[in-house]
Amino acid sequence: MKLTEYSNSGGCGCKISPNILDKILKNLKNNFLPKEIIVGAKNSDDAAVYTLDKKTSLILTTDFFVPIVDNPKHFGQIAATNAISDIYAMGGKPIMALSLLGTPTGNISVSVLRKIIDGAGEICSKAGIVIAGGHTIELKEPIFGLVVLGSVKNKYLKKNNNAQLGDYLILTKPIGLGIYASAIKKKKISKEEYKEFLDTTTQLNDVGTKLSKMKAVSALTDVTGFGLLGHLTEVCIGSKLSAEIEANKIPILKSAKKYILSNMLTGASQRNWNHYRKTIYMKSSNNDFYQRLLSDPQTSGGLIISVKKKKSKEVIKLLRENKFKYANIIGEMKKYNKNKIITVI
């Protein structure tokens, strides 16, 4: 069997609905936290943060999912890139990783499993870390991911709840990854489209470490399973502001529109939309298309950067220098209103 044939979904599209997740975490979010934990479950941020002293904090995150591609090495690379991204989205630098592997051992060979781990190891090496250990269990459905530990100077820590009124919003990678993943699973993807998908999902968000040192950058987060609308909504709620985005300025994968028009969608896209739709207003003659695109779950997606308007060109220049060639200004933070996000064309 191909790896994706074991999976009902793929990549971050296998995330539980945000509505159900809120119910599951209700008590956890109300738990008392030691003062050293300055970012925890109730913050809806990318990772947990533990303060060591006045200068330094530790960042801890974990992410794993079912196969999103059939090539085991590529699966490991994508999963590792995705997991490490949370460290960069907090402005941190990764230190080490642990692997999380679940496999139906009777069906998947040792050589395939080794390729998954080796692929992850290659990405970790690019990030300057090693996989120091991990845990492996038997499951009916294969899963893989990492626990990642990072560090950050306290003065450089970036959270998703500090966007400022008038900030420009920049997205660093094109969206449509969930749509492409669906095409991969249904064997509809071309070689060129697969390469575009792999290049995007294995590009480290390591520029986040550089962005963290810019005072003009107010907030950072990465775009994963809840889609662009979901993760931007979290920025708005945490920052007590709204966002206005220009949908035609959002970078998208080359064939995303083609696949959306042919109903190549994920179940997670509709779940995301059902949860966030009450606080989103669309001023478009093509609402159905943008609803599907902006709710599409991303695996190893880009960063959303909230930055002072006058420094936005400097950030775009930095992103271009770090090979984020599709990065673009997509909107602006506005005064709070009942609509967390307004999309205009």
Rounded distance, CA 331 to CA 333, Å? 7
pTM for the model stands at: 0.93
pLDDT in tens, 19-44: 787 777 777 766 777 889 988 877 77
pLDDT in tens, 94-115: 999 999 999 987 788 999 999 9
pLDDT of residue 313: 96
pLDDT in tens, 268-320: 888 889 888 888 888 866 778 898 999 999 999 999 999 999 999 999 999 99
Dihedral sign (CA 16, 20, 22, 27): negative
Q: Is 14 a catalytic residue?
A: no
Rounded distance, CA 339 to CA 321, Å? 35
Question: Which amino acid, residue 54?
Answer: K
DSSP character string of 292-308: HHHHPPPSS--EEEEE-
Given the residues 12, 14, 124, 236, select the one marked as catalytic: 12
Rounded distance, CA 142 to CA 293, Å? 28
pLDDT in tens, 195-228: 999 999 999 999 999 999 999 999 999 999 999 9
pLDDT of residue 13: 63
Candidate from 1-10, 122-131, 148-157 with smallest mean pLDDT: 1-10
Residue that wins the pLDDT comparison between 85 and 140: 85
